């Protein structure tokens, strides 16, 4: 891993994690959720961050998503040092540069599909008519224009996830951050969502996918594997080493990966 400690110019790098630590004090013990993580993601890449629970992938996702700041280290998003920003600036970054796709969809139940998709634009201060236009266009991309007036509860799980993708796309973010996007879906709908993410990638979007599931991670171009807060693998997804978890016998892992992929 190259360390760019002295450089703020990162070329094509959209995301730069430079020696990121996240340390929680729990009584006398210290939990290192991120223990010196460094990597960078180029514009247009499709990266999966993989790891078991406790590996630090959620911490990574929170920091990338500007929901949290690291204890130390620097995080640059499109050249902006996000690691030192205050609450309001972080909200701005989330609003303008990031599109979230959550496992639980996280749609607001009492708002219509269209209103849900409009939310990021609302907080960006986009005027009403433009907001509506952009939200409808976004819904069209996921093929749910006719459900615009429905409430989320009237939609299937897969449709709800597509709405949340539409919401993530509405603000034209630099990075789409998908946290276990198929976790709550059956395998067929899950596959559809992944195919859609791949399509978005092929259209030039930068996608960061967070998952514990190898079979999903392999849909990405590149895998960053985390364990105990450290990067244990960072490379292409189409080589056997990408799926190796040093703690589990290789044979078992191959079966696991092969079973679903």
Partner 1 sequence: MGIGQSFILAIKSLLNNKMRAFLTMLGIIIGVGSVILIMSLGNGVTTEISDTFESMGTRTVSVTLMGRGSNRTFTDDEMYEFAEENSDVIKAVTPTVNVSATVRPERWNENLSTSITGVGEDWLTVKTYETARGRFISYMDIYARNKVCFVGAYFDSPEVYNGNAVGSTLKINGDVYTIIGVAEEITDASDEDGSDNFAVIPYTVAARLSRMGNINSYTLISVSDETVNAAKQRMSNRLYENYGDEDAYAVIALAEILDTVTEIMDTLVTVIAAIAAISLLVGGIGIMNIMLVSVTERTREIGIRKALGAKRRDIKSQFVIEAMTTSLIGGVFGILLGVFGARIAGKLMNMPAVPSLSSIVLSVGISVGIGVLFGYLPAKKASELNPIDALHHD
Instruction: Compute CA 157 distance to the chain's CA centroid, rounded to the nearest angstrom.
Output: 19
| Residue of 113, 190, 182, 118 lying closest to 154 (CA atoms) | 113
3-state helix, strand, coil in the chain (%, to 5): 40, 25, 35
Residues at the contact surface with partner 1, assessed by CB under 8 A? 62, 65, 67-68, 87-88, 91-92, 94-96, 100, 102, 106-108, 110, 119-120, 122-124, 167, 171
Q: In terms of CB distance, is 212 or 254 closer to partner 1? A: 212
Q: In terms of CB distance, is 28 or 87 closer to partner 1? A: 87
CB neighbour class for 212 (10 Å; exposed up to 12, middle 13-18, buried from 19): middle
Q: In terms of CB distance, is 67 or 232 closer to partner 1? A: 67
Compute the least distance from the CB of residue 155 to partner 1, in Å.
16
Compute the least distance from the CB of residue 74 to partner 1, in Å.
20
Compute the least distance from the CB of residue 128 to partner 1, in Å.
8
Report the alpha-carbon distance of residue 167 to residue 115 in Å, rounded. Answer: 9
Residue 129, number of CB atoms within 10 A of its CB? 8
Q: In terms of CB distance, is 65 or 181 closer to partner 1? A: 65
Q: In terms of CB distance, is 6 or 153 closer to partner 1? A: 153
Q: In terms of CB distance, is 177 or 185 closer to partner 1? A: 177
Compute the least distance from the CB of residue 123 to partner 1, in Å.
4
Compute the least distance from the CB of residue 33 to partner 1, in Å.
12
Q: How many helices (H) and strands (E) does the chain have?
A: 8, 10
Report the alpha-carbon distance of residue 17 to residue 230 in Å, rounded. Answer: 12
Half-sphere exposure of residue 60: CA atoms within 13 angstroms, side-chain side: 38
Compute the least distance from the CB of residue 107 to partner 1, in Å.
8
């Amino acid at each position: 891993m190259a360390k760019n400690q002295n450089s703020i110019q990162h070329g094509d790098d959209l995301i730069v994690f430079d020696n990121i630590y996240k340390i929680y004090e729990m009584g006398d013990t210290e939990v290192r959720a991120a223990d010196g993580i460094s990597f960078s993601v180029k514009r247009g890449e499709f990266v999966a961050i993989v790891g078991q629970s406790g590996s630090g992938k959620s911490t990574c996702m929170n920091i990338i998503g500007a929901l949290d700041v690291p204890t130390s280290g620097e995080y640059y998003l499109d050249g902006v040092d996000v690691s030192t920003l205050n609450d309001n600036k972080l909200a701005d970054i989330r609003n303008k540069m990031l599109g979230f796709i959550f496992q639980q969809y996280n749609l607001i139940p009492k708002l219509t599909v269209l209103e849900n998709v409009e939310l990021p634009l609302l907080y960006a201060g986009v005027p009403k008519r433009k907001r509506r236009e952009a939200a409808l266009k976004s819904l069209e991309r996921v093929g749910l224009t006719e459900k615009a007036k429905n409430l989320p509860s009237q939609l299937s799980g897969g449709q709800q996830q597509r709405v949340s993708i539409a919401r993530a796309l509405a603000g034209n973010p630099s990075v789409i951050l998908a946290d276990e996007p198929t976790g709550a879906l059956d395998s067929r709908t899950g596959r559809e969502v992944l195919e859609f993410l791949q399509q978005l990638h092929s259209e030039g979007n930068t996608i960061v996918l967070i998952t514990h599931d190898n079979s999903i991670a392999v849909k990405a171009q590149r895998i960053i594997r985390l364990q105990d807060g450290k990067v244990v693998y960072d490379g292409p997804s189409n080589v056997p080493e990408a799926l190796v978890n040093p703690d589990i016998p290789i044979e078992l892992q191959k079966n696991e990966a092969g079973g679903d992929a």
